[in-house]
Amino acid sequence: MTLVVAHRGASVQAPENTMESFRLGAEAGADAIELDVHLTKDGKLAVIHDETVDRTTDGSGEVVGMTLRALRKLDAGARFTGADGSTAFAGKGLTIPTLEEVLDWLPEDIGLVVEIKVRSAVPAVVEALRERPVRQAGRASLISFDEAAIDEAHALDPELPTGYLLVPSQPFEPALRWAVEHGHPAVHPWDGDLGLDPAPALAQAMAYGRQVGCYVVNDPDRMKHLAILGLWGFVTDVPDVARAALGPREDA
């Protein structure tokens, strides 16, 4: 079964990395929610993709330079425009959530994929997950483009699955070998790098006992093709489209 992972939630339907986006992703039938984590000035785990708040809120400035209290005053729906051109989420009280807030909400049958955006956040993220049901059930994983970040996470909690994110055009086979050597069970290339025929890359990973996920897949025909080939999972901005393409979710 190929896993459907909601990329920053249902990020076409609602502002990315907000509780509304995560809720819609779960309702759409995603097997897991993917989110991004930065550290605030006061050491809190803020769920936001960029280093700054400029693109996704009505504020300005670096996340690391702001306290959680200051971040929570920003409108996380202010800059979202829907497919129909609407700005329905502006002024509706959407805020930047914390990782703890997401963990408190997360349905018990939904997985969680945490992308580490800054290496300094690793200890706090591992600790936040440690006693949570999603971690105990084996439904949580940490991913990062930063090799040192996932190495540190693996050292802190060897049983917590980690995945190596590949930047676009990064050669797959050397990255796969690195993941094997460092004990990381998954590699996550950009879908465009898998090409029209992902079978060779998937076969390489299978030979090493590794899983392959990819980002970001929004075309239903591509979703079906990847699932037929046995891809472990993909992140998507449209989990509702993915669920319709692949059929009802199973207990993942």
Rounded to whole angstroms, the Cα distance separating 190 from 213 reads 9
Rounded to whole angstroms, the Cα distance separating 225 from 35 reads 25
Residues ≥6 apart with Cβ < 8 Å to 115? 34, 35, 36, 37, 142, 143, 144, 165
List the chain domain ranges: 3-246
Output the pLDDT for position 249: 85
Q: How many CA atoms lie less than 13 Å away from 209 in the CB half-sphere?
A: 5
Q: Tell me the CATH class for 3-246.
A: alpha beta
Read off the DSSP letter of residue 96: P
Q: How confident is the model at residue 22 (pLDDT cuts 50, 70, 90)?
A: very high
> Taking Cα atoms as reference points, which of 43, 85, 41, 79 lies closest to residue 58?
79
pLDDT in tens, 59-94: 999 999 999 999 999 999 999 998 777 789 999 999
> Is the backbone peptide bond immediately before 216 cis, with ω within 30 degrees of 0?
yes
Q: How confident is the model at residue 251 (pLDDT cuts 50, 70, 90)?
A: low
Q: Cβ(103)–Cβ(35) under 8 Å? A: no
Q: Provide the annotated active-site residues.
A: 7, 49
pLDDT in tens, 175-227: 999 999 999 999 999 999 999 999 999 999 999 999 999 999 999 999 999 99
pTM: 0.96
The percentage of the chain sitting over the pLDDT mark of 70, rounded to a whole number, equals: 99
